[in-house]
């Protein structure tokens, strides 16, 4: 039987829920999801070139870039970057070694620590680390010679040094330049000048940040902005927090609300899918989405810029044609020939399988159904060749009435115990590097309510622990997974150079991050 949530909560609980801005009906919905579970997505097949993934020829790329250049000055462009994560995971192995945990002395992890120490002078933060140690009267070369490497790690990771274990990843010095090193945040400022400059010569950047880091990040960016603001361009920075109302309630293994040692309900962040609310509040036309750590030095940026403009220009081309059709539908003007053309456009460009019986309906009903189905936000997603990097992939997924739809899927969403599903997952040739360009206004120029295009039944349930007690946690549908499930989706192949994440500090030693 379903749990009667009202019988499980007291007045203090209700106050706690109200303060977070969560409705009781939402709590009931979440607990119902825990009870029935979240069924895995059903993969139909992986997307490949010519079957879900476009490979744009050189001429098409040139036309897309030209379209972007022509229209960008009249568009509200925004560069949206989730940047709330601390760099703790980036330095996980170094922290384990510093803290003396047993796993740090084993095999590859110890080898990674040795590799880090051996290559210290190749990191952009080396001069800053050197200065931090010299302030303590210490020299890196002497410390290494004497086997006092933990002193080096302390100066790098702990708060009385550079504090890299706890500051935002965007504030880590990533790349070295003759004029001085740059953080990931600074690289995003440089990029924004090139492809996020729209109406009024304003390049808008929107960062989602954690409340404990917001002041530090805002101060840093305000300090360095003038250094990267190109002549004739205004860099405009905006910040938002993940809303407490997007947190999800944790439950016991029997699906009753989990309570901490003080008897209070436990809420957990809903994952990056919660950021659809932040995205929904932006006042813009075209939004570029890219992770904070996916940046490169200047020598590699031209190719990055090219493909950003290709994706954006191709989106604008699709949008213009779609808007033309929607305007004709709204005006009641399409003749049978144009209606046939619209159906073909929907099928070929957005892979929409519109019911055949619609064509037999009287024009008013047919027009209304087409407007409702076609008037949706658009996302054009870059896809790179799968070379073993972690990340979601492009798949045909069984949708409503088993109609296949294009979706970005994470491995945790798939039933890997099913041999057929595992085989389809492993057959994937491409994956998503979080390289999206989004059209978020409709043909009337009004912003979409993006919350209407989510998969409300999506997400992930995981088992976690708190102080030795197991609990079940709910993650909301991911930002580029279920949170965009009902968008018009287009996958375009882009080269692997567009994907250069920094998941561990050793990734900064890759050639793509060495500015030589």
Rounded Cα–Cα distance for residues 298 and 190 (Å): 9
pLDDT in tens, 323-381: 999 999 999 878 888 888 999 999 999 999 888 888 788 878 888 889 999 999 999 99
Is the per-residue pLDDT at 7 higher than 80?
A: no
Q: What pLDDT does 200 receive?
A: 95
Q: Given pLDDT bands bounded at 50, 70 and 90, which one contains residue 166?
A: very high
Angle at Cα 307 formed by Cα 237 and Cα 393, nearest 5°?
95
Q: What is the mean pLDDT of residues 296-321?
A: 97
Is the per-residue pLDDT at 23 higher than 50?
A: yes
Q: Give the closest residue to 376 by CA, choosing from 436, 318, 310, 308.
A: 318
Q: What pLDDT does 104 receive?
A: 47
Q: Give the closest residue to 228 by CA, choosing from 257, 198, 273, 197.
A: 197
Rounded Cα–Cα distance for residues 299 and 497 (Å): 12
Contact 206, 282 (CB under 8 A): yes
Q: What is the mean pLDDT of residues 479-506?
A: 95
Sheet strands (E) in 133-227: 173-175, 182-183, 202-209
* Strand pairing class (286-290; 435-439): antiparallel
Alpha-carbon distance values, 327 to 179, 332, 353, 502 (Å): 52, 9, 21, 44
Write the burial class of residue 492 (CB in 10 Å: 0-12 exposed, 13-18 middle, 19+ buried).
Answer: buried
Rounded Cα–Cα distance for residues 209 and 44 (Å): 37
Q: Given pLDDT bands bounded at 50, 70 and 90, which one contains residue 458?
A: confident
- Range of lowest pLDDT (4-8, 46-50, 189-193, 265-269): 4-8
Is the per-residue pLDDT at 457 higher than 90?
A: no
Q: What pLDDT does 102 receive?
A: 47
* The overall pTM is greater than 0.85: yes
Q: Give the closest residue to 246 by CA, choosing from 32, 20, 464.
A: 20
Tell the residue number behind the tokens 């579970």, with chain if given: 37
- Considering the chain, what percentage of its residues have pLDDT values greater than 90? 81
Alpha-carbon distance values, 210 to 217, 241, 347 (Å): 10, 6, 41
Q: At what angle do helices 184-195 and 214-228 cross, to 10 degrees?
A: 50
Q: What pLDDT does 8 receive?
A: 80
Domain limits, CATH 3.90.550.10, in the chain: 5-87+170-315+429-513
pLDDT in tens, 68-116: 999 999 999 999 999 988 888 899 999 999 988 645 456 557 888 999 9
Tell the residue number behind the tokens 């994907």, with chain if given: 499
Q: What pLDDT does 87 receive?
A: 87
Is the per-residue pLDDT at 397 higher than 70?
A: yes
Q: What pLDDT does 341 receive?
A: 92
Task: Write the CATH number of the domain with boundaries 5-87+170-315+429-513.
Answer: 3.90.550.10
Is the per-residue pLDDT at 301 higher than 60?
A: yes
Q: Given pLDDT bands bounded at 50, 70 and 90, which one contains residue 152?
A: very high
Q: Given pLDDT bands bounded at 50, 70 and 90, which one contains residue 52?
A: very high
């Amino acid at each position: 039987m379903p749990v009667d949530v009202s019988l499980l909560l007291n007045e203090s609980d209700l106050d706690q829920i109200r303060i977070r801005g969560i409705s009781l009906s939402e709590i009931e919905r979440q607990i119902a999801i825990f009870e029935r579970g979240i069924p895995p997505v059903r993969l139909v097949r992986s997307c490949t070139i010519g079957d879900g993934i476009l490979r744009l020829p050189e001429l098409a790329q040139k036309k897309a870039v030209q379209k972007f250049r022509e229209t960008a000055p009249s568009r509200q462009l925004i560069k949206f970057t989730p940047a709330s994560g601390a760099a703790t995971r980036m330095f996980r192995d170094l922290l384990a070694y510093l803290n003396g945990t047993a796993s740090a002395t084993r095999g590859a992890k110890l080898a990674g620590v040795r590799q880090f120490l051996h290559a210290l002078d190749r990191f952009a933060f080396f001069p800053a680390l050197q200065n931090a140690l010299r302030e303590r009267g210490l020299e890196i070369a002497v410390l290494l010679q004497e086997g006092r490497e933990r002193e080096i790690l302390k100066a790098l990771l702990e708060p009385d040094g550079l504090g890299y274990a706890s500051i935002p990843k965007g504030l880590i010095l990533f790349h070295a330049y003759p004029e001085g090193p740059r953080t990931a945040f600074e690289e995003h400022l440089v990029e924004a000048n090139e492809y996020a400059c729209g109406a009024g010569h304003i390049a808008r950047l929107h960062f989602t940040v954690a409340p404990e880091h917001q002041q530090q990040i805002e101060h840093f960016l305000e300090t360095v902005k003038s250094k990267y603001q190109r002549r004739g361009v205004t860099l405009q920075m905006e910040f938002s927090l993940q809303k407490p109302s997007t947190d999800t309630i944790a439950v016991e293994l029997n699906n009753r609300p989990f309570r901490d040692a003080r008897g209070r309900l436990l809420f957990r962040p809903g994952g990056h899918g919660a950021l659809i609310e932040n995205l929904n509040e932006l006042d813009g036309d075209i939004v570029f989405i890219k992770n904070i750590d996916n940046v490169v030095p200047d020598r590699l940026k031209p190719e990055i810029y090219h493909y950003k403009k290709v994706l954006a220009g191709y989106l604008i081309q699709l949008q213009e044609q779609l808007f033309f059709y929607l305007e004709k539908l709204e005006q009641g003007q399409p003749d049978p020939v144009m209606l046939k053309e619209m159906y073909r456009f929907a099928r070929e460009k957005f892979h929409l399988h519109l019911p055949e019986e619609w064509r037999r309906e009287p024009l008013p009903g047919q027009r209304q159904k087409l407007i409702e189905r076609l008037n949706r936000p658009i996302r054009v997603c870059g896809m790179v060749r799968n070379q073993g990097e972690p990340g979601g992939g492009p798949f045909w997924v069984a949708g409503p009435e088993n109609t296949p739809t294009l979706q970005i899927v994470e491995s945790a969403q798939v039933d890997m115990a099913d041999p057929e599903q595992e085989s389809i997952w492993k057959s994937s040739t491409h994956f998503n590097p979080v390289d999206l360009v989004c059209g978020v206004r409709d043909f009337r120029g009004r912003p979409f309510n993006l919350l209407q295009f989510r998969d409300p039944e999506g997400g992930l349930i995981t088992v976690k622990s708190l102080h030795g007690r197991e609990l079940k946690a709910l993650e909301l549908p991911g930002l580029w997974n279920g949170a965009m499930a009902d968008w018009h989706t287009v996958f375009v192949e882009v080269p692997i150079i567009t994907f250069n994440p920094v998941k561990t500090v050793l990734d900064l030693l890759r050639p793509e991050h060495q500015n030589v």
